[in-house]
Structure 1
Amino acid sequence: MNKKFLLIILILITLSWHLSLQNNDTIDAETKNTDQISTSEKTPLAPALVALSHFSLQDPSNNMPLLEWREDLNAVYYELELFDTIPDDLSDEELSSKNLYYTASVYTNAKQLDLTQIAPNALNGKTPLYWRIRSMDIDHNPITKFSALEELYATNQAPQMNAPIPHVIYNEKNGTTLLYPVYSFIPNANATQFEIEVTDNIPENPNGTTPSKYRIYAKIITGGELYDEKPRIGTFYWRVRGLDDEGNPVGVYSDAQIFKNEPQDNWKIAIFGDSISHGGGHLSFGPADWAYSYAYYLDFPTINLSCSGDTSETMVQRFDDDVLPFHPQYLLIMGGTNSLRAGMPAENVINDLKTIQEKCYENNITPILLTLAPINPYNIKKVFNEETSEVWQYNLNLVNDFIRTQPHIDTAKALNSPPILPTEYAMDGLHGDVIAKKIYAQEINDNISQFIAK
Structure 2
Amino acid sequence: MRRILCRSAFLIVSLSVAMLVWAGFSGTTNVVSAWAACLAHARINKPVPTVHFSQEGPASIKPVLTWTKVEGAVAYELELLTKPPKTPDKSATYPICFFSTKKIYVNGFNADLSVYLNEDSFYWRVRGLDVDGNPIGLFSDAEKVYIDRQQNVIQKPIPTSIFNQSTGATLLYPVYAWIPIAGAENYEVEILDDLPENPNGIVPSIHRINSALAVGFDYYDKNPRISKNAFYWRVRGLDQDGNPVGVYSDAGKFSINPNRHVTVATFGDSITHGGGSISYSPADWEYSYQYYLDFPSINLGKSGDTSETMVERFERDVLPFHPQYLIILAGTNSLRGGVTAENVIADLKVLKEKCLVNNIRPVFMTLPPINPDNIKKVFNEPTTPDWQEQMRLVNNFIRTQVHIDVASEMKYTNGILPSKLAVDGLHLDIDGKKKIAAAVNANWARITELARQSSIE
Q: Give the shorter-chain TM-score range.
A: 0.7 to 0.9
Counterpart of 2:392 in 1: which secondary structure? helix
Distance 2:90 2:114 in 1: 29
Shift of 1:447: 0.7
Shift of 1:148: 1.8
Q: Note closer, same or farther for the CA distance 1:139–1:95 as it changes in structure 2 (3 Å cut).
A: farther
Q: Note closer, same or farther for the CA distance 1:9–1:436 as it changes in structure 2 (3 Å cut).
A: closer
For residue 66 of structure 1, what is the aligned residue in structure 2?
Answer: 64
Counterpart of 1:82 in 2: which secondary structure? strand
Q: Deviations over 1:360-379 (max 9, x none)?
A: 00000000000001111000
Q: Is 1:233 aligned to residue 226 of structure 2?
A: yes
* Equivalent in 288, 291, 301 of residue 293 of structure 1: 288
Shift of 1:113: 1.5
Q: Deviations over 1:58-105 (max 9, x none)?
A: 221122211011111210001111123446x54522242332112222
For residue 82 of structure 2, what is the aligned residue in structure 1?
Answer: 84
Counterpart of 1:354 in 2: which secondary structure? helix
**1:194-209 residue pairs with structure 2 within 5 A?**
194-209=187-202
Q: Note closer, same or farther for the CA distance 1:270–1:175 as it changes in structure 2 (3 Å cut).
A: same
Shift of 1:57: 2.0
Contact 1:11 1:383 (8 Å CA) reproduced: no
* Equivalent in 108, 111, 114 of residue 113 of structure 1: 111
Higher mean C-alpha deviation, range 160-169 or range 298-307 = 160-169
Contact 2:306 2:331 (8 Å CA) reproduced: yes
Instruction: Please tell me the residue identity of whatever aligns with 2:71.
Output: L
Contact 2:45 2:71 (8 Å CA) reproduced: no
For residue 215 of structure 2, what is the aligned residue in structure 1?
Answer: 222
* Equivalent in 183, 187, 191 of residue 190 of structure 1: 183
Distance 2:292 2:45 in 1: 26
Contact 1:64 1:189 (8 Å CA) reproduced: no
For residue 91 of structure 2, what is the aligned residue in structure 1?
Answer: 94
Q: Deviations over 1:365-416 (max 9, x none)?
A: 0000000011110000001100000011000000000000000011111223
Distance 2:252 2:151 in 1: 24
Instruction: Please tell me the residue identity of whatever aligns with 1:332.
Output: I
**1:322-337 residue pairs with structure 2 within 5 A?**
322-337=317-332
Counterpart of 1:313 in 2: which secondary structure? helix
Q: Note closer, same or farther for the CA distance 1:452–1:7 as it changes in structure 2 (3 Å cut).
A: same
Q: Deviations over 1:266-311 (max 9, x none)?
A: 1111000000000011111110010110001001110100100000
Q: Note closer, same or farther for the CA distance 1:389–1:217 as it changes in structure 2 (3 Å cut).
A: same
For residue 441 of structure 2, what is the aligned residue in structure 1?
Answer: 445
Q: Deviations over 1:15-57 (max 9, x none)?
A: xxxxxxxxxxxxxxxxxxxxxxxxxxxxxxx953211111122
Contact 1:51 1:68 (8 Å CA) reproduced: yes
Distance 1:132 1:7 in 2: 30
Contact 2:45 2:128 (8 Å CA) reproduced: no
Task: Point out where structure 2 has 5 or more consecutive residues left out of the alignment.
Answer: 15-43, 452-457
Distance 2:343 2:7 in 1: 31
RMSD, aligned CA: 1.9
Q: Deviations over 1:405-428 (max 9, x none)?
A: 000011111223341111111111
Q: Note closer, same or farther for the CA distance 1:84–1:94 as it changes in structure 2 (3 Å cut).
A: closer
* Equivalent in 427, 431, 436 of residue 432 of structure 2: 436
Distance 2:138 2:92 in 1: 10
Q: Is 1:135 aligned to residue 134 of structure 2?
A: no
Shift of 1:436: 0.8
For residue 34 of structure 2, what is the aligned residue in structure 1?
Answer: none
Instruction: Please tell me the residue identity of whatever aligns with 1:77.
Output: A
Counterpart of 2:395 in 1: which secondary structure? helix
- How many positions carry a matched residue from both structures? 416
Q: Note closer, same or farther for the CA distance 1:168–1:10 as it changes in structure 2 (3 Å cut).
A: closer
Shift of 1:155: 0.5
Q: Note closer, same or farther for the CA distance 1:158–1:11 as it changes in structure 2 (3 Å cut).
A: closer
For residue 23 of structure 1, what is the aligned residue in structure 2?
Answer: none
Counterpart of 1:55 in 2: which secondary structure? coil
Shift of 1:200: 1.7
Counterpart of 1:450 in 2: which secondary structure? helix
Instruction: Please tell me the residue identity of whatever aligns with 2:294.
Output: D
Higher mean C-alpha deviation, range 149-158 or range 205-214 = 149-158
Shift of 1:10: 5.7
TM-score (norm 2): 0.87
Shift of 1:140: 1.2
**1:233-252 residue pairs with structure 2 within 5 A?**
233-234=226-227, 235-252=230-247
For residue 417 of structure 1, what is the aligned residue in structure 2?
Answer: 412
For residue 398 of structure 1, what is the aligned residue in structure 2?
Answer: 393
Contact 1:2 1:227 (8 Å CA) reproduced: no
TM-score (norm 1): 0.88
**1:33-48 residue pairs with structure 2 within 5 A?**
48=46
Counterpart of 1:353 in 2: which secondary structure? helix
* Equivalent in 307, 314, 337 of residue 302 of structure 2: 307
Instruction: Tell me the percent identity.
Output: 51
Q: Note closer, same or farther for the CA distance 1:139–1:2 as it changes in structure 2 (3 Å cut).
A: same
Distance 1:241 1:115 in 2: 22
Contact 1:130 1:152 (8 Å CA) reproduced: yes
Counterpart of 2:173 in 1: which secondary structure? coil
Counterpart of 2:182 in 1: which secondary structure? coil
Contact 2:270 2:303 (8 Å CA) reproduced: yes
Shift of 1:106: 1.1
Instruction: Please tell me the residue identity of whatever aligns with 1:80.
Output: L
For residue 27 of structure 1, what is the aligned residue in structure 2?
Answer: none
Shift of 1:187: 1.1
Q: Deviations over 1:307-330 (max 9, x none)?
A: 000000000000010000111011
Shift of 1:172: 1.2
For residue 155 of structure 1, what is the aligned residue in structure 2?
Answer: 148
Shift of 1:9: 3.4
Contact 1:5 1:223 (8 Å CA) reproduced: no
Distance 2:324 2:394 in 1: 24
Shift of 1:12: 7.3
